[in-house]
């Protein structure tokens, strides 16, 4: 770490240099503000110790020049007791702190270390923000097919605007990834991006999460709580599975969109916010509007810019790119060498219908990487259901000459599909229900009827397939 000391007193410069060198710092010094600024032009400095009273260019003028050319470099002011008011004024102009003369050595070292630590944390924060923006930039969404090129163009055009966006597509197509890409490519990128899974919460809890509540608004409201719309003020809020919101909550959501204001539960105080809404749904919202399960006025408020993500089966040319991306990701995570993909494995991956879309493909590749012990991804590393013969994505069923029970065949088919979805969802019933496009309660009833548990083993699934 290099420190620049700017002070017109030679004795003080020598004292500071001796002290700081002893603490392991590299020190350069200047007697005037002009000399110090010329050193900054030719050298990289991590921190500056600056005297307020300087001949020629004053300490305040020097500070302003430093902050113009090196805004992130911390500056510590050295001042006599009589000029502490000036030092406080200097802090308003960007100085980190001030140290009165005569100073204690421990105070100087402590203040310098605090300033350097704050700078390190600030630099780390900026680096993480830059990485996040890179991770969620739309150029980082994998795909070169014509449908995806159209999606990229839509994102590029939509991101800078203030308009609400509705993202549609099957489960697993990457709706949240696109929402994050839009936010991080927008002028709101430095402000919060808040995700709300609209389908996973009961109505009362969802409203409390969205709009907040005051103490005593309902049983259990032991303190006032900010809602997610307040948290997202100035940024974007992503309402996932918005088709699952009930009509009462939809009406309140419509008010936020139209008036940009709302009230916490139990409160009469109006709160104004500036939030961009990005909504997503794998359900047909127009169909829900026709069946009066979704407000038509809300639908049109959300559907200002529509982005419909294609299923993976409609962009098969992107599958090799996605496989390569996931191979790189999970070999790095698991600290393994990058394997090759056998030709027969690639054929299976290319031919699959991928009902779970990109998420299903990602899970498949991750599983193969974890289970692999060699240098090649072979078919035996793929889930059983991918290696079963399919016709139009339906398991082959041959009717024997002596007939079969249609009821049993249908039950076995249902059982097989449920077991497959549970394997893809790692045993999480809600995710499995999304893959099968049924309500979680419906899936639960089907599992009870068929005697399936969410922790079903692969051997149980194989037994079901063989039946």
CATH number of the domain where residue 248 is located: 3.40.50.300
Residue ranges in 291-439 assigned as alpha helix (H): 296-302, 319-333, 343-351, 357-371, 406-424, 429-436
Q: Let me know whether 301 and 319 are in one domain.
A: no
Q: Let me know whether 156 and 110 are in one domain.
A: no
pLDDT at 72: 86
Calculate the alpha carbon distances from 311 to 282, 347, 434 in Å.
11, 19, 14
**CATH number of domain containing 68:** 3.40.50.2300
Q: Let me know whether 198 and 234 are in one domain.
A: yes
Q: Let me know whether 293 and 203 are in one domain.
A: yes
Calculate the alpha carbon distances from 92 to 53, 76, 97, 424 in Å.
17, 12, 10, 56
CB hemisphere CA count around 107 (13 angstroms): 11
Boundary-marking domain end, from 279, 294, 310: 310
CA 434/CA 236 separation, integer angstroms: 25
pLDDT at 143: 87
pTM over 0.85: no
Boundary-marking domain end, from 265, 282, 310: 310
pLDDT at 320: 93
Q: Are 52 and 90 in contact (CB under 8 A)?
A: yes
387, part of any domain: no
Residue numbers of the domain that contains 48: 2-131
CA 75/CA 52 separation, integer angstroms: 11
160, part of any domain: yes
pLDDT by 10s per residue, the chain, length 467:
899 999 999 999 999 999 999 999 999 999 999 999 999 887 789 999 999 888 999 888 999 999 988 888 999 998 876 567 777 777 888 899 988 888 889 999 999 999 999 888 887 777 666 565 555 455 568 888 999 989 999 999 999 999 999 999 998 999 999 999 999 889 998 899 999 988 767 877 888 899 998 888 888 788 888 899 999 999 999 999 999 899 999 999 999 999 999 999 998 889 999 999 999 998 889 999 999 999 999 999 999 999 999 999 999 999 999 999 999 999 999 999 999 999 999 999 999 989 899 999 999 999 999 999 989 999 999 998 888 754 344 444 555 555 667 776 787 788 888 888 887 887 888 888 888 888 888 898 888 888 786 644 343 343 333 33
Closest to 195 in 3D by CA, of 231, 162, 246: 231
pLDDT at 396: 47
Q: Let me know whether 148 and 239 are in one domain.
A: yes
**CATH number of domain containing 440:** 1.10.10
SS3 content of the chain, % helix, strand, coil (to 5): 55, 15, 30
377, part of any domain: yes
Q: Let me know whether 124 and 223 are in one domain.
A: no
CA 433/CA 444 separation, integer angstroms: 9
Q: Let me know whether 317 and 306 are in one domain.
A: no
389, part of any domain: no
**40-63: b or e for each residue (b if 16 or more CB lie within 10 Å)?**
beeeebbbbbbbbbbeebebbebb
Boundary-marking domain end, from 310, 327, 360: 310
Q: Let me know whether 157 and 235 are in one domain.
A: yes
Q: Let me know whether 155 and 79 are in one domain.
A: no
Q: What is the CA radius of gyration of the chain?
A: 31
Q: Are 99 and 111 in contact (CB under 8 A)?
A: yes
């Amino acid at each position: 770490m290099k420190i620049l000391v700017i002070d017109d007193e030679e004795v003080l410069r020598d004292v500071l240099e001796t002290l700081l060198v002893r603490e392991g710092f590299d020190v350069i010094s200047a007697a005037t503000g002009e000399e110090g600024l010329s050193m900054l032009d030719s050298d990289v400095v991590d921190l500056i110790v600056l005297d307020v009273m300087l001949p020629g260019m004053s300490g305040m003028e020097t500070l302003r020049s430093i902050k113009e050319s090196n805004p992130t470099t911390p500056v510590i002011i050295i001042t006599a007791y009589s000029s502490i008011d000036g030092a406080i004024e200097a802090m308003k102009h960007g100085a980190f702190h001030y140290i009165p003369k005569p100073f204690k050595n421990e105070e100087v070292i402590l203040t310098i270390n605090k300033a350097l630590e704050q700078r390190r944390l600030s630099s780390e924060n900026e680096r993480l923000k830059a990485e996040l923006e890179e991770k969620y930039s739309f150029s980082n969404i994998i795909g070169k097919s014509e449908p995806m090129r159209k999606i990229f163009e839509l994102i590029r055009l939509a991101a800078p605007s203030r308009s609400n966006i509705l993202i549609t597509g099957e489960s697993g197509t990457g709706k949240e990834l696109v929402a994050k890409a839009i936010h991080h490519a927008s002028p709101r990128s430095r402000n919060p991006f808040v995700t709300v899974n609209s389908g996973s919460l009961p109505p009362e809890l969802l409203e409390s999460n969205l709009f907040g509540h005051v103490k005593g608004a309902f049983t259990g409201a032991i303190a006032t709580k900010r809602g997610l719309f307040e948290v997202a003020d100035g940024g974007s809020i992503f309402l996932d599975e918005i088709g699952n919101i009930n009509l009462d909550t939809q009406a309140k959501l419509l008010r936020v969109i139209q008036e940009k204001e709302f009230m916490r539960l139990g409160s009469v105080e109006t709160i104004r916010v500036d939030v961009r809404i990005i909504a997503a749904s794998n359900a047909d919202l127009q169909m829900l509007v026709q069946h009066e399960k979704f407000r038509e006025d809300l639908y049109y408020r959300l559907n200002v810019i529509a982005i419909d993500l294609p299923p993976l089966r409609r962009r098969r040319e992107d599958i090799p790119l996605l496989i390569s991306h996931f191979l790189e990701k999970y070999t790095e995570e698991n600290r393994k060498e990058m394997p090759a993909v056998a030709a027969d494995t690639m054929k299976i991956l290319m031919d699959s219908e991928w009902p779970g879309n990109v998420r299903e493909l990602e899970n498949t590749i991750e599983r193969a990487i974890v289970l692999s012990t060699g240098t090649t991804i072979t078919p035996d590393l793929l889930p059983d259901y991918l290696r079963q013969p399919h016709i139009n994505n339906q398991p082959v069923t041959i009717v024997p000459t002596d007939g079969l029970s249609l009821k049993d065949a249908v039950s076995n088919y249902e059982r097989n599909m449920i077991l497959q979805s549970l394997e893809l969802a790692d045993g999480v019933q809600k995710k499995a229900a999304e893959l099968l496009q049924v309500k979680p309660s419906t899936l639960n009833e089907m599992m009870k009827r068929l005697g399936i548990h969410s922790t079903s083993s692969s051997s149980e699934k194989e037994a079901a397939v063989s039946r």
